[in-house]
Amino acid sequence: MSVSRKFSALLLAGSVSLAALAGAAFAAPLTYTDMIKMDRINGFKLDPTGRYAVLNIRVTDMEKNKGIQSIWLKDLSKPEAPEIKLAVSDGGASNAQFGPDGTIYFISGRGEGGTDQVWKTDITGATATQVTRLPLDVQAYQITPDGKGVVVGLAVFPECKGDEVNCTVKRQADRKADKSSGMVYDKIFVRHWDTWADGTRNHLFYVPLAGGVPIALTDGYDGDVPSKPFGDEADYTISPDSKTVVFSAREAGKSEPWSTNFDIYTVPIDGSAAPVNRTASNKAWDGSPRVSPDGKTIAYVAMKRPGFEADRFGIMLMDEQGKTRELAPDWDRSVGGIQWSKDGKSLLVDADDVGKHIVFRVDAKTGKVTPLTRTGHTNVYAETPRGMVFLKDDLTHPSALYQAKAKSAFIDEGATNLTKFNASAGALTTGAYEQFVFKGWNNEDVHGYVIKPAGYVEGKSYPVAFLIHGGPQGSFGDGWSYRWNPETYSGAGYAVVMIDFHGSTGYGQAFTDAISQHWGDRPLEDLQKGWAFALDKYKFLDGDRACALGASYGGFMVNWIAGNWKQPWKCLVSHDGVFDARNMGYSTEELWFEEWEQGAVVYDDPAKYDTFNPALHAKDWSKPMLVIHSDKDYRIPVEQGIGAFTALQRQGVESAFLRFPDENHWVLKPANSVKWHDTVFNWLDTHIGAKSTQGAK
């Protein structure tokens, strides 16, 4: 989420060295408008033979101001042949996957009534046939291994136990007919991420493909599966014999906003028994269940500390008797994705690793961990008879589909690029990058990245964008992004410095833990020492023309810097940042996060929230600041941004406030993304002088 890119030619050629890029002729730089218009590969699935891959592609339609989903087919036996857009995409198609007989299934709202349903097509993709005819939108789906049915997620009212679907339809009709808009709540989450609670829960149903009524699998369960707001079919799986569904969910009750206690459940697919909690003894997070090919073992990931969302996800194995053991307990990485190998002898997993996101093979008996990739960001991968196929991106490349070279030590070493998306963008230049390491807080190693401006000229100095990542348990590393993409700053003539301060992921759990209750001291020390190190090592960085920018936790840090380390900066950009920590403790939706990070419930110990509270230092703000916030951001509510802007304006500090009434914690609509980038780069150009070549094309 290693190749350097001279966009079109190098994207198609595979990997090249930085030295090769340095010797190449300089072409037009990548701009943010180029980035916004790129086609995005959201994932892929293989057919049972491993010959075909169906790809889910998002194309940006600037005229309609939205992303358009489509499905494409790639014949893996013909690496040089182009991928083909399936005609069924024209009616709207997303989340494509293969059934066991090679049928392609997908989600579309093209049918009568306009609800999202499961459809199918053959390998030609010429015509579509409707599979499910439910009165509610299908949130997620999985075809059973025997091909006889589909397990879907639907949003229903859990109190409609016994007839969740029909009762939900009636309740929705009654609500629509009610002229009052008032909603009464008796518990929080009253809102989550960007949506106000409507009383429904995502529940699982088995739908026979031969026809028949949907069978409720989580009837009356007070919880969501798939989970909200980002859950999908990865939250559940179906046993190889198609008799059991295994899923991860959190029972809500009254404690949902401050609980991270997800558990692994099993339920018969025929609905003959209620779900059984298989991990009730672990009060922390259990997720991503995967059943072994022989059906005897459930692999899943688990945390150990309740209430902490960024604890290490270890690999757990559960046998048929329910006995569990941790696999590779001494491996100090937190697992993201997890799947069984085809032979069932190992697990394929991915994890952040020293500024990269790497795929590993973990032996299911011994726990031996073997890295399969070396560089960049890879989190979608699958085995085929011809070798591993995977999606990979890095700092200078968007995601592309690759096939591993036979007998290569690493699957990304000499891999073949199988897709040609974005090739028409032409030859665009990105800035060369380098990872560095220095001694930060507690004299421990801290890593960072420096990126040269596109078209860098030796001996020149360049203004600097100092980017601070969010999370805070995250990483700005060797991966591509469509929101905070450092190469767009490089293309605008800026050098970029990014520091993976204490709290970042991929450097061991103790490193990640170090930020909790220390938001403003240990990471700040890392940022200060990293900035000094970069200025000393990279002479092309102009320390007198630098701006610090960040979002979420990065926005908090910009607000904190404004009163505690403002000296180096000519300007600041704070996007969705925490301004008043006490108010944040009362108004954010996921309370477990604030209560863990601050070490207390806000009303029990408000002084803890004041330890690193930017609002208490606002009187010392003096640097020009651009504040950005969105109305539908319920993670860090818009009042935080308004508060920061008020503090700036009241003191006469040069400032501006960019508000998006229709965005959440992220800026996703194409036109809004253009506006965001226009505003940010104009702010940088005004204050530190690199006149960008950006703008609509």
Q: Tell me the per-residue pLDDT of 142-190, one tens digit each, with 9 for 90 and over.
A: 999 999 999 999 999 999 999 999 999 999 999 999 999 999 999 999 9
Task: Please tell me the predicted confidence (pLDDT) of residue 467.
Answer: 98
Say whether pLDDT at 6 is over 70.
Answer: no
The number of C-alpha atoms within 13 Å of 149 and in the hemisphere containing its C-beta is 21
Maximum separation of any 2 CA atoms in the chain, in Å: 74
Label residues 465-487 b or e (16+ Cβ within 10 Å = b).
bbbbbbbbbbbbbbbbbbebbbb
* Percent with pLDDT over 90 in the chain: 92
Non-local (6+) Cβ contacts of 344 within 8 A are 292, 293, 294, 364
Per the structure block, which two tokens stand in for 433? 């990058």
* DSSP H or E segment with residue 430: none
pLDDT tens track for 653-680:
999 999 999 999 999 999 999 999 999 9
Please tell me the number of Cα atoms within 13 Å of 109 on its side-chain side: 9
Give the C-alpha separation, 97 to 120, whole Å: 9
Centroid of chain to Cα 359: 16
pLDDT tens for residues 64-85? 999 999 999 999 999 999 999 9
Cα distance between residue 256 and residue 160, in whole Å? 20
Domain locations along the chain: 431-688
Q: What is the mean pLDDT of the chain?
A: 94
Any long-range contacts for 603-611 (C-beta under 8 Å, 24+ apart)? 606/582, 608/517, 609/581, 609/582, 609/584, 609/585, 610/581, 610/582, 611/517, 611/520
Residue 407 binned pLDDT confidence (cut-offs 50, 70, 90): confident
Q: 14 pLDDT exceeds 70? A: no
Task: Average the pLDDT over 447-472 and give the result.
Answer: 97
Going along 354-432, which residue ranges are E strands? 356-363, 369-371, 377-382, 389-394, 397-403, 416-417, 428-429
Q: Write down the pLDDT at residue 378.
A: 98
* Span 483-516, pLDDT tens digits: 999 999 999 999 999 999 999 999 999 999 999 9
Look at the block and give the residue holding tokens 């014949």. Answer: 75
CA angle 97, 115, 71 (to 5 degrees): 30
Tell me which residues are annotated as active site.
552, 633, 665
Is it true that domain 431-688 has CATH number 3.40.50.1820? yes
443: pLDDT confidence band, cut at 50, 70 and 90? Answer: very high
Q: Residue 599 above 90 pLDDT?
A: yes
pLDDT band for position 424 (cuts 50, 70, 90): low
H helix or E strand, kind and range, residue 642: helix 638-650
Inter-residue contact 589 to 498 (CB < 8 Å): no
Query: Which pLDDT value is given to residue 391?
Result: 98
User: Could you report the per-residue pLDDT of 219-245, keeping only the tens digit for each?
Assistant: 999 999 999 999 999 999 999 999 999
In the predicted model, is pLDDT for residue 26 greater than 60? no
Nearest partner of 428 among 19, 4, 1, judged by Cα: 4
Q: CB within 8 A of 212, min separation 6: which ones?
A: none
Structure token digits, residue 650: 């009241």
- Mean pLDDT over 441-445 rounds to 98
What is the reported pLDDT for 425? 53
Q: How confident is the model at residue 2 (pLDDT cuts 50, 70, 90)?
A: very low
Q: Report the pLDDT value the prediction gives residue 691, as an integer from 0 to 100.
A: 65
Residues 6+ apart with CB under 8 A from 210: 148
Q: What is the pLDDT of residue 696?
A: 37
Instruction: Tokens for 343, please give them.
Output: 């032979």
Query: Is 4's pLDDT higher than 90?
Result: no
CB atoms within 10 A of CB 697: 7
* pLDDT over 90 at 462, yes or no: yes
The Cα 211–Cα 304 span in angstroms is: 43
Dihedrals φ, ψ of 17, to 5°? -90, 160
Residue 7 clears pLDDT 80, i.e. is over it: no
Closest CA to 156 of 222, 201, 104, 99: 201
Mean pLDDT value of segment 24-42: 86
**DSSP letter assigned to residue 452:** P
pTM for this entry: 0.94
Q: Which of 445, 462, 444 is nearest to 453 (CA)?
A: 462
Contact 286, 301 (CB under 8 A): yes
Which alpha helices (DSSP H) does 159-311 contain, by range? 164-177
CA–CA distance, 341 with 381 (Å, rounded to integer): 11
Instruction: Tell me what percent of the residues of the chain surpass a pLDDT of 70.
Output: 95
